[in-house]
Amino acid sequence: MGTLERIDDAGTFRVQWDDGRNLGLVMGADSFSVLSPPVQTQKLYMPMTATYYEEEDGLETDVTMDSREAAEYAPQIIAVLQKEQAQMEREADSPEEAGRA
């Protein structure tokens, strides 16, 4: 087992091996497999604000909610973000279909 440190100009994988050695792997000559890193869950916390626009007498004004007000709308915000993400994934899977939509 080891950790890939870099790939040199010749295309050799420079590895720092767990036993302390530093030895390169050559594509096509050496046999190796790559292990995926462990899955990590990260939770990011930050103040949330939301700005929306109201129209009155033909004039648009922006209204900003503080984090407490905006948090009340979290389920709706999450639903919209998930819908947009799904649409982006569909477009990425089928770019020719996205052009027709």
Q: How far is CA 40 from CA 19, 35, 37, 43, 46, in A?
A: 26, 15, 9, 10, 19
What is the arithmetic mean of pLDDT over 28-53?
A: 83
Whether the pLDDT of residue 5 is over 80: the answer is yes
Q: Using one digit for the tens of pLDDT, what is the confidence trace for 45-98?
A: 777 788 888 988 888 999 998 888 888 888 998 899 899 999 998 888 875 654
Model confidence pTM above 0.75:
no
Whether the pLDDT of residue 17 is over 90: the answer is yes
Task: Extract the tokens encoding 56.
Answer: 């009155």
How far apart CA 30 and CA 77 sit, in angstroms, is 50
Q: Which residues partner with 7 through β-bridges? A: 13
How far does Cα 58 stand from its chain's mean position?
39
